[in-house]
């Protein structure tokens, strides 16, 4: 079903399609090691608005079938003028190009990139982390490659790499209002930043230094400026349901930074990596999810509005779908709230909520959700007014042996794994006692970890004295 643009397995670009979150998955993509065409999986989105006013997204490309992130090998650029119609401009660089053009690098291992525009010479600089060679003790010699073009979407030619940049992933370049470019990279808990030369954006001006003051830094650095303040956002090491995106603020582009907390809760994908961009006077957060594929290494970019508070702090991005009706209050004073399973949040217009593929669970005639299996998830928005403890009862029917699931609040596991024996043809009540739900919680996710089951309701009973 992949478009007129594809004939004899040749895909002709650009291709424009109307798309909603999760983005780009309906574009055609060559699959790894074959001539066949599959869905386009993307991650690590860097958003920029260039002089023509369009929003451009430079993303990593997850190739199917994946082998961890080893086979990520080619970059595509996407753009839009209305957040409705999206264009895939095609491949702009591969590891083959890098090897041929500047003689370094191995196959694959092309991770989260960024792009910057230098008005002084009218050139676009594409920065990408790429492995030069595997190291004898099992590590990797990462370089920050640079490719340069007169166009934002094609004809990039590798100009080598940024000599002296630490062997870390995820480069990002921020250009300040005075035209000074800054470069950052980082992974595995280390984040560094420094200046690029104003007269040569492929070279450092001095050494890159560790960024001070970040909390729980994992990877995925992004720097932007809003109302005169600098913001460094990044993924953290949150384990449950994937990484969060956090941010820190500073009066200087190189810190020191003051952590301000989480602005995107885990999306269920193991990694997350985002950027923040102003487009037509509004701010947006880019991030990635793995809902369409159900696999951590086959990701899809999402975009949602981002809002600031009056003091410049960022509100958590509301990328958790549209509630089915009025949002229920969690009970106080010994009361109970019964959430009907079928009253789950839907996808809404702009949200990255999306159930997995053709096997997604469905609403059954008897008023329950049927066919929930590994990596499916069902979401319910709730209002919580205080930190309280609850007994939580799931009316559930396991349809396989070894069914496992857990409940998360704002992307953090609050029940631990609940294991059930099955199969059975009857619904039964399973209660987990003494679960804390905090006042800032806005949504609950029931996440399937194994097996197959049906869900009728979740009852939350206040047990505070």
Interface residues with ligand FUB (CB under 6 A)?
A: 43-44, 60, 69, 111-112, 169-170, 219-220, 271, 273
Cβ contact 101:92 at 8 Å: no
Nearer to ligand FUB (CB atom), residue 232 or residue 372: 232
Nearer to ligand FUB (CB atom), residue 292 or residue 451: 292
Question: What is the rounded distance in angstroms from the CA atom of residue 6 to the CA atom of residue 8?
Answer: 7
Residues in contact with 255: Cβ distance below 8 Å, sequence separation at least 6, in sequence order: 193, 211, 212, 213, 232, 248
Q: Which of 44, 91, 236, 241 is catalytic?
A: 44
Point out which residues pair with 446 in neighbouring strands. 378, 407
Q: Which of 73, 97, 219, 376 is catalytic?
A: 219
Q: Least distance (Å) from ligand FUB to the CB of residue 299?
A: 8
User: Read out DSSP for 110-123?
Assistant: B---EEEEETTTTE
Q: Least distance (Å) from ligand FUB to the CB of residue 164?
A: 20
| Backbone torsions φ then ψ of 431, nearest 5 degrees | -110, 135
Residue 307 among the catalytic residues = no
* CB atoms inside a 10 Å sphere around CB 375: 20
Nearer to ligand FUB (CB atom), residue 39 or residue 220: 220
* DSSP designation for 284: E
Burial of residue 429 (CB within 10 Å: 0-12, 13-18, 19+) is exposed
Q: Least distance (Å) from ligand FUB to the CB of residue 288?
A: 7
Nearer to ligand FUB (CB atom), residue 26 or residue 170: 170
Nearer to ligand FUB (CB atom), residue 301 or residue 372: 301
Q: Least distance (Å) from ligand FUB to the CB of residue 386?
A: 36
Span between the terminal Cα atoms of the chain, in Å: 59
Q: Least distance (Å) from ligand FUB to the CB of residue 46?
A: 11
Write the Ramachandran bin of 206: left for phi over 0, alpha for psi from -120 to 50, otherwise beta.
Answer: left
Residue 73 among the catalytic residues = no
Q: Please identify every residue annotated as catalytic.
A: 44, 219
């Amino acid at each position: 079903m992949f478009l007129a643009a594809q004939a004899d397995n040749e895909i002709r670009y650009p291709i424009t399609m109307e798309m909603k979150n999760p983005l780009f998955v309906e574009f055609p993509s060559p699959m790894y090691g074959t001539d066949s065409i599959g869905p386009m999986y993307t991650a690590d989105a860097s958003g920029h608005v260039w002089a023509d006013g369009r929003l451009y997204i430079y993303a990593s490309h997850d190739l199917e079938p994946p082998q961890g992130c080893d086979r990520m090998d080619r970059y595509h650029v996407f753009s839009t003028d209305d957040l409705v119609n999206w264009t895939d401009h095609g491949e702009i660089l591969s590891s083959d190009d890098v090897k041929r053009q500047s003689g370094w690098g191995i196959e694959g291992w092309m991770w989260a990139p960024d792009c910057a525009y230098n008005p002084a010479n009218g050139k676009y600089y594409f920065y990408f982390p790429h492995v030069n060679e595997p190291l004898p003790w099992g590590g990797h010699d990462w370089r920050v490659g640079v490719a340069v073009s007169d166009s934002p979407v094609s004809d990039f030619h590798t100009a080598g790499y940024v000599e002296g940049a630490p062997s870390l992933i995820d480069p990002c370049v921020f250009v300040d209002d005075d035209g000074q470019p800054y470069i950052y990279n980082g992974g595995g808990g280390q984040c560094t930043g420094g200046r690029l030369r104003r007269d040569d954006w492929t070279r450092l001006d001095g050494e890159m230094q560790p960024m001070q003051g970040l909390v729980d830094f994992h990877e995925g650095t992004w720097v932007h400026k809003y109302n005169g303040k600098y913001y460094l956002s990044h993924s953290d090491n949150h384990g449950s349901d994937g990484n969060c995106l956090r941010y820190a603020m500073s009066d200087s582009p190189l810190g020191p930074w003051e952590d301000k907390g989480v602005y995107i809760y885990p999306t269920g994908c193991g990694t997350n990596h985002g950027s923040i961009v102003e487009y037509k006077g509004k701010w947006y957060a880019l991030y990635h999810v793995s809902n369409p594929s159900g696999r951590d290494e086959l990701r899809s970019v999402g975009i949602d509005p981002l809002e600031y508070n009056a003091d410049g702090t960022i509100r958590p991005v509301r990328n958790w779908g549209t509630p089915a009706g009025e949002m229920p209050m969690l009970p106080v004073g010994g009361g109970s709230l019964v959430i009907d399973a079928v009253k789950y949040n839907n996808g809404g217009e702009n949200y990255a909520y999306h159930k997995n593929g053709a096997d997604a669970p469905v609403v059954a005639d008897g008023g329950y959700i049927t066919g929930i299996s590994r990596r499916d998830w069902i979401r319910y928005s709730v209002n919580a007014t205080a930190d309280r403890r609850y007994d939580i009862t799931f009316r559930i029917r396991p349809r396989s042996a070894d069914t496992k699931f857990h409940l998360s609040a704002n992307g953090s596991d609050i029940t631990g794994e609940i294991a059930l024996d099955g199969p059975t043809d009857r619904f039964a009540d399973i209660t987990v006692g003494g679960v804390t739900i905090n006042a800032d919680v806005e949504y609950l996710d029931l996440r399937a970890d194994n097996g197959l089951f049906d869900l009728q309701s979740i009852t939350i009973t206040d047990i505070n004295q």
